[in-house]
Structures are given as C-alpha cells and as structure tokens.
Amino acid sequence: MAEAILSRLVSQQIYGPEQVLVSDPQLNRREFLKQTYQVRVSEDNQAAANASEAVILAVKPQILDRVIAGLAGGQDKPLIISVLAGTPISRLEFGFPDHPIIRAMPNTPATVGAGMTALAPNKLVEAYHLSLAKSIFAAVGQVVEVPESLMDGVTGLSGSGPAYVALLVEALADGGVASGLPRSIAAKLALQTVLGTAQYLQETGIHPAELKDRVTSPGGTTIAGVTVLEKMGFRAALIEAVRAAFRRSQELGKHKS
C-alpha cells in the first residue's frame, strides 16, 4: 500500500521526488525505491520525524511501538497519517501526543489508482490537514471523510469488499464454464461485466435497483437468474459478510486500544 501511494504521488506530480523521504530498514528496499522513484531514502526514522507536512505510517501494527520510538524527538508536529489496520486513533495519540492525526482505511484497488479511502481525523486536525490528506489519497482513488466510530463499518464494506467482488467474478466465470463456455472467455466476460456495471452505475448515478429493473424483462432470462439468487439468499449473504467483517474489526480494535 505504501508503494502504491508513493508511486501515484510521484507519477501524478502531487509531490516531486525530492520532496519525499522514505524510511525503510531494508537496504535492498531502499535502493529499489530510490532507483524506481528517485525519492530520498533513509534507514533512520528520525529523519522522517522532521517532515514539514506529513508522516505516513505504513507499517505492521505489531511494530508500531518501535516505529514510534524512532520518530520521537522531531522539532515540529507534522500531520500523522496512519494506514495501520485496526489501530484506533487513541493508540496513535498515545504515541504521538499533541499531533494532528488522521486514520486512513484504503483498500486494495488503490494499487491501480481505483481505491476507496475513508479518513477519520482527531480533534487536532484542521481544514488544511484534511485537505492535504485528501490530496494524497485522491492519487489512489476516491476519498470520503467519516467519524472514527464508522471505521469498522468501512473495514467491513470497502476494506474487505474486494474479496467479495473477487468471489463474485470467480463464481460468474464458473457459471459460464458450467454453461459450456471456455474458461478464458468466461473469465473475460465475468470481469468486464462487473467492471462495466460498476462504471455504469457510477457515471449515471442511478440506483442499482433501477438498473436491475431495466435488465429484467418480463419472463426473460435475467429474472429467472435473479429469482434463483433470491432463493439462495445472495443479498442476505453479502449483508452478513459485511456485518461479520465489521464485528471482527471491532474485536481487533479493542485488542489494540
């Protein structure tokens, strides 16, 4: 995720390479990032602590304490942006007292610039901090602002959602194969159908139910398929999947707070 953000910030010229400092303990990783994106690199987190605008935390939650220790002592108090899964703002405030902090939840499609990111600010975040964070994550997709109390819901829907959609694409392709289509053709049809439908809904702004009604002609093939989906509990299964992920995110957050 960190490299996805970095690559888009540089390629879209939101920041010049000379404005970005990447801290990483692995020499080969530092050299790769330096050569690929021409950014400045360091093995010392203390250098990142002196950032003038923002520090993006993109590390495993279990090493957060070590990262905080390495960032201590900076002269200024830059905006802290965290993409650590399940790590509440209260935990970040303990490590970064008196800092403006934004908790971010991007999802996997961010790696191709089609992500969905939710931002939750703490009380010290001002309008220009939020604008800065939005500009950073707009580089990898769309951005919404939510109160932190909704972040578990975000996790259950857009955070885990790509897995649900992947299952949908796979199942559609399997259905095509079961109907006699070659695997390669079925996979292409399934993927483009999901992609095209999402784009259609986004660009027209119509409700999904309206699109469903347009496609389901009386006594036709689509309504026959929709009837089976309703009998099998398709919508209920997706709703419960989001709720299950939401509850699990709540559990993980309690353990880390």
Between CA 254 and CA 257, with CA 256 as vertex, the angle to 5 degrees is: 65
CB-hemisphere CA count at 13 Å for 4?
19
Report yes or no: 80 and 96 within 8 Å, Cβ to Cβ: yes
Same domain assignment for residues 43 and 137: yes
Q: Is residue 198 situated within a structural domain?
A: yes
Q: Is residue 185 situated within a structural domain?
A: yes
Task: Give the position of tokens 């259950």.
Answer: 156
Which pLDDT score is estimated for 154? 95
Single-letter amino acid code for the residue at 75: Q
Which pLDDT score is estimated for 59? 86
Q: Is residue 188 situated within a structural domain?
A: yes
For the chain, report the end-to-end CA distance as a whole number of angstroms: 23
Same domain assignment for residues 128 and 199: no
Answer left, alpha or beta for residue 180, where phi above 0 means left and psi between -120 and 50 means alpha.
Answer: left
CATH number assigned to the domain comprising residue 195: 1.10.3730.10
Give me the number of domains the chain comprises: 2
Answer left, alpha or beta for residue 86, where phi above 0 means left and psi between -120 and 50 means alpha.
Answer: left
Between CA 62 and CA 10, with CA 22 as vertex, the angle to 5 degrees is: 125
Which pLDDT score is estimated for 249? 87
Pairing of strands 40-42, 21-23: parallel
**Beta-bridge partner residues of 82:** 57, 103
Any idea of the CA torsion for 129, 135, 140, 143, to the nearest 10 degrees? 70
CA 55 to chain centre: 18
Q: Is residue 217 situated within a structural domain?
A: yes
Which pLDDT score is estimated for 255? 64
Residue of 9, 26, 38, 136 whose CA lies nearest to 78: 136
Same domain assignment for residues 131 and 208: no
Cα 120 to Cα 86: distance, rounded to the nearest angstrom: 13
Cα 13 to Cα 29: distance, rounded to the nearest angstrom: 22
Residues 6 or more apart whose Cβ sits within 8 Å of residue 188: none
Q: Where do the H-state alpha helices sit in the chain? A: 2-11, 27-37, 45-49, 64-71, 89-95, 127-138, 151-154, 161-178, 183-204, 208-215, 221-231, 234-256
pLDDT along the chain (257 residues), means of 10: 90 90 90 94 80 86 85 78 90 91 94 94 96 94 96 94 97 98 98 97 97 96 97 97 93 71
Which pLDDT score is estimated for 51? 72
Same domain assignment for residues 144 and 171: no
Domain of residue 71: give its range. Answer: 2-151
CATH number assigned to the domain comprising residue 66: 3.40.50.720
Which pLDDT score is estimated for 73? 65
Same domain assignment for residues 215 and 123: no
Angstrom CA distances, 176 to 133, 168, 195, stand at 43, 12, 17
